[in-house]
Structure 1
């Protein structure tokens, strides 16, 4: 059995703590938006938690970079992780911390072989709906021309946007809100493609399995037919021998 590298051992050990920190980030991100108006102390505490979680993922990236045997190849193959770590440093917006943390959680979750595709897609849908609703509500609620004022409006808008239905009763009016809308639309289309491909692959695998079973049964029938013919030939030969005697 091949011995695991230090990088793989670290990734296995850090996976669950990082996912737990991601849940903590979700709570810290949601509280100031849902509890409105939030006190300054509560907002500062939640902001500190968000930066703490982002820092944990950044530290995880640096540890994996140190432990890897080929650092150049690691940076080249994990460029999205690097962008997610560096993104909040470019402009300290809460939305950038949200995007970077979601990217890092996604990259780390993909390393878990026990997470099936269906579970991953379901989790991605729930996460996008939740964070999309919170993000658009945080930027649209204070807009003078906005019509997304409550969490219910935001969830309804996120659901219709992700499913590409787009009723139009609620729509973002700010530039940042429209950026969120574009990201949610593209994510919904991508997830729909993943689900469709997964279903198609299941049907193809099922048909192939049935086809293999059918070929096996056909081969068995042909083999039995050949054996019956051989037995008939032997019986006919025995009968002919007995008649000659």
Structure 2
């Protein structure tokens, strides 16, 4: 592996980070869907979200510090950096919810590798739910908004991620359109991941079946070879006994 220190760090922090991501998502969901929160409660939830976001940022910085080739690591993890930096901008605060996608998706991939259906369903559900929350948070108080309830946000998410796009619901704010663009890109990427995962699963199964068939054939050949060796040995033994009997048989006197 190119980065053994990062791999060791991942093994230590994957589950704690997953727990933080779940907390982040739960708190953000509560903050978005519960409109009756007092200003004090809303601020308290904001503090929790900020603390979790900072810890995820610390994780990213630790990975850079552990990397052998830091510039290469940053260059190959630009999306992680953008996910952490974009929510800092006030107009894009709803995008802070996407900070949990990378962590949770990594855990799904690691836990369910090979189980394509579970991985795909888990990823689609996670991306769709997060996108619905983000667009609702951005849109519902905007003038002329067509997405004002969570049900409408879910419907918009489903039609967008499936690339159907009926157009009956659409974002009108800049922040909502950024969420939409992110979801569109995620939908295309997800389609590629699904296709690649299914192809990989089929290839793995074909290789496994071919290897098993080759092993069985090899075992059968060994067994057949052993049986032939035994038969040849028995034939040699019989031939030897016949030769002995032929030698021991008395010779008839000539007339």
Structure 1 residues 103, 215: closer, same or farther in 2, change over 3 A?
A: closer
Residue number among 152, 172, 175 corresponding to 1:174 in the alignment: 172
Unmatched tracts of structure 1, length 5 or more: none
Q: How far has the Cα of 1:221 moved from its partner?
A: 7.7
Give me the CA root mean square deviation: 3.8
Distance 2:91 2:10 in 1: 28
Q: Does 1:115 align with 2:111?
A: yes
Q: How far has the Cα of 1:59 moved from its partner?
A: 1.8
Q: Is the 8 A contact 2:95 2:134 kept in 1?
A: no
Give the TM-score normalised by the residue count of structure 2. Answer: 0.70
Distance 2:18 2:75 in 1: 24
How do residues 120-199 of structure 1 correspond to structure 2 at under 5 angstroms? 120-166=119-165, 168=166, 170-176=168-174, 177-199=176-198
Aligned to 1:88: 87
How do residues 1-245 of structure 1 correspond to structure 2 at under 5 angstroms? 5=5, 8-68=7-67, 70-91=69-90, 93-99=92-98, 101-102=99-100, 104-105=102-103, 110=106, 114-117=110-113, 118=115, 119-166=118-165, 168=166, 170-176=168-174, 177-213=176-212
Give the TM-score normalised by the residue count of structure 1. Answer: 0.72
Structure 1 residues 38, 217: closer, same or farther in 2, change over 3 A?
A: closer
Q: How far has the Cα of 1:12 moved from its partner?
A: 2.7
Work out the number of aligned pairs and report it: 237
Distance 1:163 1:178 in 2: 17
Distance 1:132 1:104 in 2: 14
Distance 1:37 1:113 in 2: 37
Q: Is the 8 A contact 1:140 1:149 kept in 2?
A: yes
Distance 1:74 1:221 in 2: 50
Distance 2:198 2:16 in 1: 32
Q: How far has the Cα of 1:155 moved from its partner?
A: 1.4
Q: How far has the Cα of 1:16 moved from its partner?
A: 1.9
